[in-house]
Structure 1
């Protein structure tokens, strides 16, 4: 299946399948792709669809910006408990990306602010246009991160740098965010989506079980003690070698049908 999806929510999120890679486009450019509750549900539906149909996925923003974060006009009217439930729903939806069944790459252009940065932090690989910028203006808005940023962003760049961003409201360039560990690649202006597609297509060629283990075992091992992590690693490594896919790939390497690892260009 290919082409643009026309199901419910396609006005907020576009969906396209290119080979083994699903492209999810945030499609609210007049609001800099600010996220509402309905937007979150549209993202969820597209992610679930991608997990059925694709081996890897890319998330990008239509227009000039990736995502400017929470739709404050909606959030400001919520009762307390509804706000708690909304935050927990964001957690559940973004968890489908972070610890789902396929790897995800974010192509970040323009603003990745607040909830947009939280969304980007839930993927496995982040590609930033050199003109992209990152910010967490919650301190100035009188709110707090609610889409998982206190865990995901903090683990990417460290709590001190995240606290700096929230307290001061400073914008951080793509180059600085790469240096901090918040993005994986910085590319020339206009090339983020192409690079994200290239990386997603590459990950789609990996063994399915290994991709699943990288997505799901690595972050859990990071939460364990050293000894527990090493034990879990042994179990996952042993399971991986038992799959038919792994056996065939190892056989191909030993029979010189697979390329050796090369030095970087």
Structure 2
């Protein structure tokens, strides 16, 4: 059945400086349709305009079970290309935007859901989560950026295994494969994601922008090209007014020093 235009599949909540964006189509395991993508785009634009970091999560029992196959099966080849390119554009505004995004994962993180999660900068998963790329079994191919983002996280060989055999990964396997960075108990992913978002929001804005935009591009460069670009970014960020104030605060002992994990007063 086609989406109902009046229904909003994305919730939005601003908690201080952190935007919380929820995928809200639980009866379909948050499967993503074309109209759903446009609602994600609107929420991302709003978060970029008023938040310093964002948390992406799913309502119901699952983060996202992927592409809405009922809609996809009706598309012509050119409609499929246009849809895929729109996913690329919207997910790209997350990956290459101006604020850090942390995804809170639980239940199904499958197909397009994994592609969406891969566009965020940090991924937190509950132990209940499971990860899969079943496109091969459906007779299709990833179209939401997975061949680039997921393959770069887990490696092409691991992704090939998942797509050819239908292998389903647990949360612990996903962490070992670099698909996620944190594994937490059931019900804790969104809280942990918010904690990480707060930490990121406390950084200098220009530093966050450099981290989320420069690092992935430098990875695509030859070694010497990457080092050359790094020098320019390092110089540019270090000479900003905010950097000067933060460096002076550290030198004047007004900012916490880095300490070992578990040490009281670490920062």
Same fold per TM (> 0.5)? yes
Please show how residues 163-242 of structure 1 align to structure 2 within 5 Å: 163-242=160-239
How far, CA to CA, are the matches of 2:213 and 2:14 in structure 1?
24
> Cα offset for 1:12?
0.4
Counterpart of 2:145 in structure 1 is 148
How far, CA to CA, are the matches of 2:167 and 2:24 in structure 1?
26
Counterpart of 2:82 in structure 1 is 85
CA RMSD of aligned residues (A): 0.9
> Cα offset for 1:9?
7.2
1:22 aligns with 2:44: no
How far, CA to CA, are the matches of 1:203 and 1:105 in structure 2?
10
SS in 2 for 1:112: strand
1:132 aligns with 2:125: no
1:34 aligns with 2:21: no
How far, CA to CA, are the matches of 1:131 and 1:48 in structure 2?
30
Structure 1 runs (4+) deviating above 6 angstroms are none
Counterpart of 1:59 in structure 2 is 56
Number of residue equivalences? 258
How far, CA to CA, are the matches of 2:8 and 2:96 in structure 1?
26
TM-score (norm 2): 0.95
1:147-180 C-alpha deviation (Å, 9 max, x unpaired): 0000000000000000000011111000000011
> Cα offset for 1:10?
6.8
Counterpart of 2:265 in structure 1 is none
SS in 2 for 1:236: helix
> Does the 8 Å CA contact 1:10/1:42 hold for their aligned counterparts?
no
TM-score (norm 1): 0.96
Structure 2: unaligned runs, 5 residues or longer: 263-267
1:260 aligns with 2:264: no
Please show how residues 85-124 of structure 1 align to structure 2 within 5 Å: 85-124=82-121
1:217-250 C-alpha deviation (Å, 9 max, x unpaired): 0000000000000000000000001111100000
Structure 1: unaligned runs, 5 residues or longer: 1-7
> Cα offset for 1:131?
1.0
How far, CA to CA, are the matches of 1:264 and 1:153 in structure 2?
30
SS in 2 for 1:78: coil
How far, CA to CA, are the matches of 2:14 and 2:167 in structure 1?
37
How far, CA to CA, are the matches of 2:27 and 2:109 in structure 1?
15
1:54-102 C-alpha deviation (Å, 9 max, x unpaired): 0000000000100000000000000110100100000000000000000
SS in 2 for 1:228: helix
